[in-house]
């Protein structure tokens, strides 16, 4: 229309072109505005942006808090398991200390036994099998003592690591939700918390997240400490059982040896008593024979004074004087009497010497019996001492082993 009326237009052309240009510019602006409105309808935030953003932030905070509480729950669970392991290891340590105390008491008992054996008479102090058993028992107890002390040092060193699992523990946490709630609350996360906590690997840790490398390190240290504690408990249990078995065997060996030595000593003392009785009987027989021989010699020698001789005892009695008137009629009566007296004197001397030897043997037997009695009494007291203190229900006191 404008083109058809161009010939009839009377206004200036510039005026007309300026108007048309303004119309076209307005149409362009209208189109751009409509386009921006369409873009704004699809991309501009809604009026409730503040509420939405706040809700998203709260959801993120809640998720992080739940993850942190899950980590704390895992740390607390690890702490409880570690504490239970520490309790078990502490009980094992107490048992180990008790076994070590028993070992020290056994060493002191062995020392007392050897000391008491020194009170035996000098004749009975000769080294015997019981001394060998006591020395072997002492060496065995000393080795057991060293092994138990080394085991105790290992347990004590392990117990000193208890505070390493407490660094990341939240002491204000009173209770945590169960594992089902954790899995439901963390379903929107890329990796579930339970899955991360079950792996315990440095690749899933996040320095700015809930499961930090420190938490992973603490859990790993706690797990290693529990494993070492369980291994130590098995080791100390085996050491205690092995020590008890070897100690019982050593005690039985020494007690049996001491009992056998006591039995042998008593048997020898009984034989000595029988021998002493036979010796006394022989002394009495020899003394009776000595008395009889001495009386016979007195009869043979005759009276002390010649005035006491009867006529029939004289060598110059009438019958002999008549007989000696004949040549070659010398009688050997005097010589035979002298020889008989000398023989009886020799018999008396030999009998007296035998009596002296019998009495000396009797003294020796009696001294041996006293020594054997003292030795048997000492060994019996040692046996009673060892049996009385075998239950270890006595105080070691100030004894230094």
Instruction: Give Cα 217 to chain centroid, integer Å.
Output: 35
Domain that holds residue 237: 62-258
pLDDT, one tens digit for every residue, the chain (401 residues): 444 444 566 778 877 787 888 888 888 888 888 888 888 777 766 677 788 888 888 998 898 899 889 888 988 898 888 889 888 989 999 999 999 999 999 999 999 999 999 988 888 888 889 999 999 999 999 999 999 999 999 888 888 776 444 444 444 344 443 444 434 333 433 344 444 444 444 557 777 777 888 888 888 888 888 898 899 899 989 999 999 999 999 999 999 999 999 999 999 999 999 999 999 999 999 999 999 988 888 777 766 666 666 666 666 677 777 777 766 667 777 677 777 778 888 888 999 999 999 999 999 999 999 999 999 999 999 999 999 998 888 888 744 44
**CB contact at 8 A, 107 and 401:** yes
Q: Which residue has the tokens 């409509």?
A: 34
383 lies in some domain: no
42 lies in some domain: no
Instruction: Give Cα 263 to chain centroid, integer Å.
Output: 32
287 lies in some domain: no
C-alpha to C-alpha distance for 335 and 358, rounded to whole angstroms:
34
Residue 312 class from Cβ within 10 Å (0-12 exposed, 13-18 middle, 19+ buried)? exposed
The token pair that represents 68 in the structure block = 């942190």
388 lies in some domain: no
221 lies in some domain: yes
283 lies in some domain: no
Q: Could you please report the per-residue DSSP string of 328-371?
A: T----HHHHHHHHHHHHHHHHHHHHHHHHHHHHHHHHHHHHHHH
The token pair that represents 281 in the structure block = 């009987």
Q: What is the pTM of this model?
A: 0.65
Contacts of 244 (CB under 8 A, 6+ apart): 99
pLDDT on residue 398:
46
User: Residue 252 maps to which CATH number?
Assistant: 1.20.1260
The token pair that represents 268 in the structure block = 């020898």
Query: Total domain count for the chain?
Result: 1
104 lies in some domain: yes
378 lies in some domain: no
């Amino acid at each position: 229309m404008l083109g058809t009326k161009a010939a009839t237009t009377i206004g200036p052309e510039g005026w007309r072109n300026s108007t048309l240009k303004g119309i076209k510019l307005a149409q362009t602006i209208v189109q751009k505005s409509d386009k921006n409105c369409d873009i704004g309808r699809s991309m501009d935030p809604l009026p409730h942006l503040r509420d939405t953003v706040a809700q998203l932030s709260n959801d993120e905070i809640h998720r992080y808090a739940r993850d942190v509480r899950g980590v704390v729950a895992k740390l607390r669970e690890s702490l409880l398991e570690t504490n239970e392991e520490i309790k078990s290891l502490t009980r094992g340590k107490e048992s180990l200390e008790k076994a070590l105390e028993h070992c020290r008491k056994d060493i002191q008992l062995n020392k007392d036994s050897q000391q008491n054996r020194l009170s035996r008479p000098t004749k009975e102090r000769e080294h015997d099998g019981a001394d060998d058993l006591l020395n072997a028992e002492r060496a065995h107890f000393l080795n057991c003592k060293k092994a138990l002390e080394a085991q105790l040092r290992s347990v004590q060193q392990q117990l000193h690591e208890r505070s390493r699992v407490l660094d990341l523990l939240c002491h204000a946490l009173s209770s945590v939700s169960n594992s089902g709630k954790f899995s439901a609350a963390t379903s929107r996360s890329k990796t579930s918390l339970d899955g991360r906590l079950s792996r315990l690997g440095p690749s899933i840790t996040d320095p700015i997240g809930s499961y930090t490398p420190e938490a992973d390190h603490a859990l790993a240290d706690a797990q290693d400490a529990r494993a070492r504690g369980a291994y130590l408990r098995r080791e100390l249990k085996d050491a205690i059982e092995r020590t008890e078995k070897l100690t019982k065997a050593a005690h039985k060996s020494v007690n049996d040896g001491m009992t056998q030595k006591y039995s042998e000593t008593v048997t020898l003392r009984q034989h000595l008593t029988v021998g002493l009785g036979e010796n006394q009987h022989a002394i009495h027989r020899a003394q009776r024979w000595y008395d009889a021989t001495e009386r016979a010699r007195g009869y043979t020698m005759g009276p002390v004074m010649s005035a006491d001789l009867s006529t029939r005892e004289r060598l110059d009695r009438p019958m002999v004087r008549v007989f000696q008137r004949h040549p070659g009629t010398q009688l050997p009566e005097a010589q035979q009497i002298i020889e008989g007296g000398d023989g009886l004197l020799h018999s008396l001397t030999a009998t007296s010497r035998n009596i002296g030897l019998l009495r000396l043997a009797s003294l020796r037997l009696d001294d041996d019996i006293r020594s054997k009695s003292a030795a048997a009494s000492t060994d019996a007291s040692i046996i009673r001492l060892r049996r009385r203190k075998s239950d270890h229900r006595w105080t070691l006191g100030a004894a230094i082993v």
